[in-house]
A and B are shown apart, each in its own frame.
Chain A
Amino acid sequence: MFNEMGTKPNVRSPYNVVSEWVEQTGIDLLQQRNAEAEALFRKIGITFAVYGEDADPERLIPFDMIPRVFSAEEWRVIDRGVKQRARALNAFLYDIYHRGEIIRAGIVPEHLVYQNSAYLPSMVGINPPGKVYSHIVGIDIVRTGEEGFSVLEDNCRTPSGVSYMLENREIMMRMFPGLFRREEVEPVDSYPGDLKDTLREVAPEKCEDDPCIVLLTPGPLNSAYYEHSFLADLMGIELVEPGDLFVDQGIVWMRTTLGPQRVDVIYRRIDDDYLDPLSFRPDSMLGVPGIFDVYRSGGVTICSAPGAGIADDKAIYCFVPDMIQFYLGERPILDNVPTWRCALKDDLAYVLDHLHELVVKEVHGSGGYGMLIGPKSTKAEQQEYAKRIIADPEDFIAQPTLDLSTAPTVAADGLGARHVDFRPFCLVGKNVRLSPGGLTRVALKEGSLVVNSSQGGGVKDTWVLAEK
């Protein structure tokens, strides 16, 4: 197991300052300050509701105050690798909604794309501004050793969590100003400005003035509502709900106190299904009727584009390294985690034989639900799961149980090593931008490998150390 901080006396150099600070502060004080931090979060109103659970809708996502640290050298690799991946994913989306070269070349199997419900036939032939489909790409990265960064998952639709990147830093700087004087940490606060620039860059061609940009949220009951309002506020744009928008004369408008106001760019944090009842789920009373038609006719830009979700399908994930080669002519900087596709006969046989040591996931699932963690499952659970795989092999992939790296974490009984992953947020407009930081998620339960906030995960501040 790779411990990010190392253990005394062999503390890894990026953690020198943090390790010293933890030692000087002492675990008792850290525990006490963890509680203070929580009170602060609650007061500011940063909460995270878990979808589909009856729990308190204003549940707080636990914050651990020991930062996760990347050296400047490590970050250079992640920075290049993430940007490379984000460009390739967008190139893939443009391709499959146009000529489908990668399919014609026999690299990605046709049926995985065209028969996938995440692929929207109505997007074929549409040219989004800048050929960008996924404007905010969240890439989940895990580490298994000193050198081993690999990508576990791509999120091309509406990845959430970036508010924690900003707020965790804010809290850390409020509580421990001295710490930031001892170590040079790259700031992350340019993210909202970068996001706004990105959205501005993809305004419709028809838009001649400074574009009117809005953030579209399903409303206060959505689990990420706090993030929506937070980002809208930092960007100085309106936070709108579907009911605030309407379509008329091929244009999207918002209702204001001054009458209708034209909208040019929509950063939507609402699923495709609920975007437009005229094109997607007809039974949904949510959404803005006609908005998809306006988008396709070039009257408004929707970020991310409807249909962008096909790129983060877990069956497509296996082909991302090939995409990088195919579209960019480059070698992938970040590797995928080895993945078996149960759709392939040999892979299926292997997976069924090794269920006890693999993690099996549903191709279309997300949020850590519906997966089998082999080493933590009973024989009966494995047998039950095997039946599901055999019934629909196409719907499953499997990966080795990764020995995720651990980072020091404040626990009830002292300092503990807990597993972490990492999600940076790459912005794609005319330029590709990446803030030096991201969301570090930590599995707070000892030994647990599930970092999802919906299943007992917490968050940490993520430090990228400045180049010396």
Chain B
Amino acid sequence: MMLSRAAENIFWLARNIERAEANARLLEMGRRMTMLPGSSGRDEWRSVLRASGTMRLVSQDESVTEEVAVNTLLLDEQNHSSIRSSLVLARNNAKAVRTAMTQQMWETLNTGWRDFDGMAPAKASENLESIIESVMIRTATFRGAAEGSMLRNDRYDFLRIGWFLERIDNTLRLLDVKYYILLPESDVVGGGRDYHQWTSLLSAVSAMRAFYHAYESDYAPWRIADFLILNDDFPRSIRYCMGQIAAHLNALGNRYEQKKACQDTADGLLSRLSDLETGEIFQSGLHEFLTEMMSRNAQLSREIAADYNFSG
């Protein structure tokens, strides 16, 4: 048993940390894609922003330069999901539930949360690689601190649920970037450039090696999609994450001896993902599938909030 407000804050703490990391991964992917030949006409950064759901922050007719994208995803205070905002929000979540944090988790969050204050976009763009790396290290350190120091109780369940919900969202978005880029030049599907775009997707989720182990060197789009959506071993795949969410929701249900509606929803989503084949996804349209999963994921999040008396 814990305060609903505390559960809510832990849940959002995990989501905000994961979101910071996801933005770093998006930036990494954009950076790689713009290094591919012929990228100048394609407006990759626009796709990246579109996938991150932040296009509305950028004017329609202006071309989206790296500087604009970096500013939006990394520095922008108006963008509540920029890396900078996510880290500040995560710290606020943690502050609101100081007693539910272990010292180690708190110390990780309390370091460097103001690093981006006053940083100019041009400067950030110049040092993008090292910034992305430092964000990844910071989020990994936090995850390590949580895994290594938290009691395996309901706090831990809520943290992990937040984590994986956000991760599902972000993997879906990453896949969608690819969709947006592919759209105007579907004639080159399977071509050399397409190959590189798909592999930049893998490298954005740090999964080049993992993929190779699972599928060897066959970088066919449907295999990559299969890996990111349905693979049960890859920790960023939709199915794996949903499995974790279902497990933690069921653990909570057992702990509290209360069966909640969100448990059924998560179990249902998981069994659907388990029965699904990549071919079916491509047949009925990847983009449609991604859009539907995003909305189901959001619905699950709302159900969890209602079942555990979150205020927002």
Contact = CB atoms under 8 A, between A and B. Distances in A.
Contact of A220 (B2, B7, B95): B95
B258 interface: yes
A170 to B, nearest CB: 11
A122 interface: no
B82 to A, nearest CB: 21
B107 A244 contact: no
Q: Could you say which of A229, A233, A241, A261 has the most chain B C-beta atoms within 10 Å of its C-beta?
A: A229
Interface string A206-238: 000000000000011000011001101100001
A443 to B, nearest CB: 29
Interface in B1-36: 1-7
* Category for how many chain A residues contact B: 20 to 34
Contacts of A55: none
B127 interface: no
A342 interface: no
A255 interface: yes
Given A45-B110, A259-B309, A229 B3 contact: no
A326 B157 CA distance: 58
Contacts of B92: 220
Given A45-B106, A220-B92, A257 B99 contact: no
Contacts of B2: 238, 256-257
A255 B309 contact: yes
Contact of B258 (A45, A238, A241, A258): A258
A294 to B, nearest CB: 19
Number of chain B interface residues as a range: 20 to 34
A257 B110 contact: no
Among B6, B98, B103, B256: residue with most chain A CB under 10 A:
B98
B95 A256 contact: no
A243 interface: yes
A258 B96 contact: no
A229 B99 contact: yes
Nearest to B1: A258
B188 to A, nearest CB: 51
B154 interface: yes
B5 to A, nearest CB: 5
A239 B308 contact: no
Given A238-B3, A244-B4, A43 B96 contact: no
Interface of A: 42-45, 219-220, 225-226, 229-230, 232-233, 238-241, 243-244, 254-259, 261
Interface of B: 1-7, 92, 95-99, 103, 106-107, 110-111, 154, 158, 252, 256, 258, 308-309, 311
